[in-house]
Amino acid sequence: MSNSQPTVSKNAIFPFQVSVACWIDLLGYGSMIAEAGFSPLRPKAAQALKRLRRFHEIVASHSVRHFPTLVMNDGAVAYRDLSLRSRSNTHDFLNRAWKLFVDIRQSELRDGYPGARLVLASGYRMRGRRAGMDASAGHFESLMKRYNQGNITADRAIREAASIRPAFDIVPQLQANFAFTKAYVAESAGSAGGLPGANFYVDMALFQGRPTWLHLGPEIEWSHPRLGLKATFSSLIDIPILLNPEAGPLDIRDGLQVAQHVEGNADVLASLRAAKNSRN
């Protein structure tokens, strides 16, 4: 693969984004709830629910604009699109995922729980949007129209807006997101898939070669034959504090380089442009 990178316009928008996602799951939580007979009324459930609330609190404390999350019971996903021009998004997401994992690990160890497993993976996602999918949008538009026409007071408009509850919701960035698919399936495979224990596993597609600035475990060739998914993961043991965190180390890949690696094609940008033109 050539070291020269094709130029990507700053304002270029393609129908497919190169993304990263990490899925983290509490180990042994299902067993705790099972011991309580799946009933919150039983004494054993209190400990499991306390553990779950603490997990949610930690995830919430790490959730920011460039590291949004979605919690689903005892698991959570964080996601971000990679830049086709800069390594900074890749490096920033890796660091944020690591800090989340460390905080959860420390909490779990302190409380005597089994810990959590996190898998960070890369892949494409289809661009999508929320507009037109949620009937509550019509409710809000009606509310604003009545307010602008003077039919309701500002206080009434605020109270009514606060009471709107969507009957359907969606996170566009997680629909047809194959980074998320890979992370979720790999984490769910666990020990049987070669990813045991309460560890952080990172997709080596994010790096050119094996980075020496990271403390990594052995590489693991993972695959899911039925789904046709495969990746090389390594357990991440530690990330040092770098002097240039904004740009990121030279051997971490930007989004275009990740796509080139995944496709095995240095001219993947032409394919993205062709996909864009076919939809115009």
Q: Tell me, what CATH number does 50's domain have?
A: 3.30.70.1230
Please calculate the CA angle 177-78-75 and round it to the nearest 5 degrees.
Answer: 100
| The Cα angle at residue 161 between residues 159 and 167, in degrees rounded to 5 | 130
Provide the residue type at 148 as one letter.
N
- 11 in a structural domain: no
Q: Among positive and negative, which fits the CA dihedral 141, 142, 147, 153? A: negative
Residue-level pLDDT at 242: 63
pTM for this entry = 0.84
144 and 214 in a common domain: no
Does a structural domain hold residue 2? no
The answer to whether position 10 is within a domain reads no
Same-domain status, 90 and 164: no
121 and 229 in a single domain? The answer is: yes
Residues 119 and 143 in one domain: no
Structure tokens at 43: 């004494």
Q: Is position 42 within any domain?
A: yes
Distances (CA, A) of 92 to 74, 96, 176, 249, 265: 25, 6, 23, 11, 26
Q: Are residues 159 and 231 in the same domain?
A: no
74: helix, coil or strand?
coil
Q: Identify the CA nearest to 266 among candidates 90, 6, 82.
A: 6
- Sequence-ordered alpha helix ranges (H) in the chain: 29-35, 43-62, 88-111, 136-148, 154-162, 178-189, 255-263, 268-279
* Domain boundary residue, one of 169, 192, 225: 169
Which pLDDT does position 6 carry in this prediction? 62
Indicate whether 93 and 217 sit together in one domain. Answer: yes
Do 232 and 135 fall within a single domain? Answer: no
Residue 61 maps to a domain? yes
Residues 148 and 180 in one domain: no
Please indicate, yes or no, if residue 100 is contained in any of the structural domains: yes
Domain that holds residue 241: 16-125+173-279
Say if residue 34 is in the same domain as residue 141: no
Query: What total of structural domains would you count in the chain?
Result: 2
The secondary structure element, H or E, covering residue 26 is: strand 16-26
Sheet of 200-203: strands edge to edge? 69-72, 75-81, 16-26, 116-126, 200-203, 229-238, 215-224
Same domain, 59 and 154: no
Give yes or no: residues 145 and 222 share one domain. no
Q: 48 forms bridges with which residues in the sheet? A: none
How many Cα atoms within 13 Å fall on the side-chain side of residue 142? Answer: 7
Compute the 3-state secondary structure of the chain and give helix, strand, coil in percent, each to the nearest 5: 40, 20, 35
Task: For the chain, 280 residues long, give each residue's pLDDT as a single digit of tens.
Answer: 444 566 766 666 666 889 999 999 999 999 999 999 988 888 889 999 999 999 999 999 999 999 999 999 999 999 999 988 889 999 999 999 999 999 999 999 999 999 999 999 999 988 765 554 455 666 667 767 787 888 878 777 777 776 766 666 678 788 889 999 999 999 999 999 999 999 999 999 999 999 988 999 999 999 999 999 999 999 999 998 765 556 678 889 998 899 888 888 777 776 676 665 666 5
| Residue 77 sits in the same domain as residue 55 | yes
Report the Cα 224 to chain-centroid distance in Å: 20
Question: Is 57 inside any structural domain?
Answer: yes
Alpha-carbon span 66 to 225, nearest angstrom: 33
Is residue 9 one of the residues assigned to a domain? Answer: no
